[in-house]
Each structure stands twice: as C-alpha cells, then as structure tokens.
Homo-oligomer: A and B are copies of this chain.
Amino acid sequence: MKRPISQNQDRPISLKTLAEHLGLSPATVSLVVNNAPGAKSIALKTRERVLAAAKKFEYKPNFLARSLRTRQTFTIGVIVPEFSEGYFTMVMNGVEEHLLQTGYLHLVVSHQGRPDLIDEYPRLLTERAVDGFLLVNTLLRAPLDVPVVSISGHKKMRGVCNAMLDHDHSAQLALQHLYDLGHRDIAFMKGQPHALDSESRWQSILQFAEKIGIRIRPELCVHIRTNSWSPELGYPVVRDLLASRRDFTAIFCFNDIAAIGAIRAIVDAGLRCPQDISVVGFDDISSAAYHTPSLTTIRQPLRRMGEMAAQLLVKRIQHPHEPYPDTIMFEPELMIRESTGLVRQQRKSTRQKPPVE
C-alpha cells in the first residue's frame, strides 16, 4: 500500500500525506506523533513505523492548524510601557529565559503610556489568540479572558496575579540610609503619572518618613515630566529645583536613569555628588555600579521578577483551575555606593539660609 513520496516538494509534508504513505489514517498518525493518551492503544510496531517515517520525512505539525484546533498558541502577549533601558531589558531577560524553557514565545508591544494603545493592544493580542498576558507596569481597564500576570501592577484586578516589590521595605531602606548619614532635608522625585510604581512607593515613603521623623516638604517634591526614557527623565526637574532652592542635602530619585540625570544636573549647577548632595536611585540597573560616582540605589530583583512572573503565568495557563496567590512580593536590597555620603556640617549650614531665588 506504500506510495512513493516525492521528498522535494516545496511545502513541508503534511499529516495526511504521511498517513497515506504509511497506509494508515491521519488519526492514527496524529495519535502517535503527539504521544497522546489514546496512543497506547496503538500496536507498538505501528507506533515505531510511524515515528520512523515522521523522522525520515521530517514531519513537523503545522502550528497554525494545530492551534486552530486546540485553541492553544503557546504564545503570550507582553505589554510594556516602553522599550526602556534598564528596567525593561532586565525584566525581559528573566521572562524570556523561562518562556523558552517551556516552549512559549512572546509578542511584545509598548504602549508609550497612551490610553488608546493601552486599550488597543490587548484586543490586538487577543485576536492573535495569545494564551496569556504579562503586563509590565501597565494597568488595563478591561478584564481579559485569559490568564494575566502583572509586574508592578499594584491595582488588584480579579484574576490578575501581581508580582511586585515590597515598597514599604524599599522606602525604609532608602530613608533609613539617608537618615543615618545625617540627611534631614531630602528632595523626592516622583515618577510619571502613568508609572504605576510611583503612587504606591510614595505612600510608603510618606509613611516611613513620618515614622522616623523626616519632614517631607512639598516644595522639595518634584515630578518627572517627560515621557522619554533617558536621563532626561531626571535632568530638567533637578536643574529647575536647584535653580530655585538649595536647602536640601539629598534626593531620592524615581529610578537610576533619572538619578544619572539628576547627578548631571547637580554637577552642572556647580555642586558635587555626594559631597554637596547625595543621590539615591532605584532599580540597580547594570550601569549603576559603573557610573561616576557609582549609584547608591535600591535594587529590584528585576530579572527574577520577570522569571517568576513568567513561571506563574505558564502554570496558570496550563492548570487554570488550581488556586494561585494573587501577589508575589519581592524584597528590595540597598546597594550602598558612592552617590551618597555623610552630610557635611558646612552644607548643613546652608539649610539655615533662605533659598536661592
């Protein structure tokens, strides 16, 4: 019953063709090549024959056809605010590592903080039948009907697991460190409005500041304005702050990138970091340790966060009905480097002077 197969056809061999060649039905071949539960009722000899032929003709099941039938694409959608340096790349390294181990690929889109895209992309990806979503620093407005894991999402949504940093602890580490160095007049840089971490971290800061008796002065609190993801983040706000007043000895930046911009602004204002102003960053991106001065910063285990989030997502996809935690908390770590130092008496005295106008 064997019919010769021309191996040099342009398209890869299909299940049907292979079955014909073997004198079996597609059903049988399908069972065998998938090693499906039903395959154990196929004679061992037949199984071997099928597998040998599949190998010989390099049979690869068509992904689309299979996905169409099984409603699984082994693809997840990743939604991020932007392809930023530091944060994004570190998280994605972790995500990719885990996904590829488990046979998933991912489609990435960046919404740039634009509400229209935040609504549009989930639709687009749902159309593509992704098996699940990984949200990075992104808050969706409508629920999705596949598993979702969110990194730094902060808002609780039904069915969405959230992997996040312990912000209370972060605030504590940073503030206590500055406090111990003698800083009492601290400026704070908050994130962009759409940076989800920002508000929650800010609350933690307020709380801990009160606890150890650091007074938070509104005039020393600035917001990142630009939407770009470069040291531009921090530069203009700190430059402007320094132009109007110098009655602070330290600044706690929203992230390392902004901290680099802040340091530049400090230098450009003729001051020195840390001698005149100490700077604390956030994230511990890879260049933080190599910057001059190297950055004292709160490290987020970003790679690990990506990895764990991906792991949880895949589990939820594969076993949807088991119970899952709705939060995974990660612990920050204080990396003490050169950008923070003891308050100098000399600088402290500045505090007494009226702000530069």
B residues less than 8 Å from A291 (CB atoms):
260, 264, 291-292
Cβ < 8 Å to B, chain A residues 77-101: 82-86, 88-89, 92-93, 96, 100
Chief secondary structure at chain A's binding surface: mixed
Q: Is A73 an interface residue (CB 8 A)?
A: yes
Number of interface residues of A (CB under 8 A): 51
Q: Which of A62, A125, A127, A235 has the most CB of B within 10 A?
A: A127
Asked if A60 is an interface residue, CB under 8 A from chain B, the answer is yes
The residue in A64, A96, A228 that gathers the most chain B C-beta atoms within 10 A of its C-beta is A64
Task: Please tell me if A129 contacts chain B, counting CB pairs below 8 Å.
Answer: yes
Is A44 an interface residue when CB atoms closer than 8 A count as contact?
no
Which residue of A89, A92, A109, A231 has the most chain B CB atoms within 10 A of its CB atom? A89
B83:A89 contact, CB within 8 angstroms? yes
Q: Give complex CA distance A286, B258 in Å.
A: 12
Give this chain's copy count. 2
Partner of A106, one of B82, B100, B108: B108
Which residues from B are CB-within-8-Å of A257? Answer: 287
Considering the complex, give the chain B residue whose CB is closest to the CB of A100. Answer: B109
List the B residue with the shortest CB-CB distance to A105: B107
Expressed in whole angstroms, the Cα–Cα distance for A261 and B291 within the complex equals 8
1/0 contact string of A56-76 vs chain B (CB within 8 Å): 000010111101100001010
A 7-23 binary contact with B (CB < 8 Å = 1; else 0) = 00000000000000000
Closest to A287 in B: B231
A279-320 CB contacts (< 8 Å) to partner B: 285-287, 289-292, 294
Contact for A290 among B63, B64, B264, CB less than 8 A? B264
| Cβ contacts A to B, 27 pairs, < 8 Å | A60-B127, A62-B129, A63-B127, A63-B128, A64-B73, A75-B128, A83-B88, A84-B89, A85-B85, A85-B285, A85-B286, A85-B287, A89-B89, A100-B109, A105-B107, A105-B124, A105-B128, A106-B107, A108-B108, A230-B287, A231-B286, A231-B287, A260-B290, A260-B291, A264-B290, A264-B291, A287-B287
* Given contact pairs A63-B127, A64-B68, A85-B86, a sample of 7 additional A-B residue pairs in the complex whose CB atoms are under 8 Å apart: A64-B67, A83-B96, A85-B285, A105-B125, A230-B290, A231-B289, A287-B287
Chain A to chain B: the 5 pairs with minimum beta-carbon distance, closest first: A230-B286, A231-B290, A85-B85, A64-B68, A83-B89
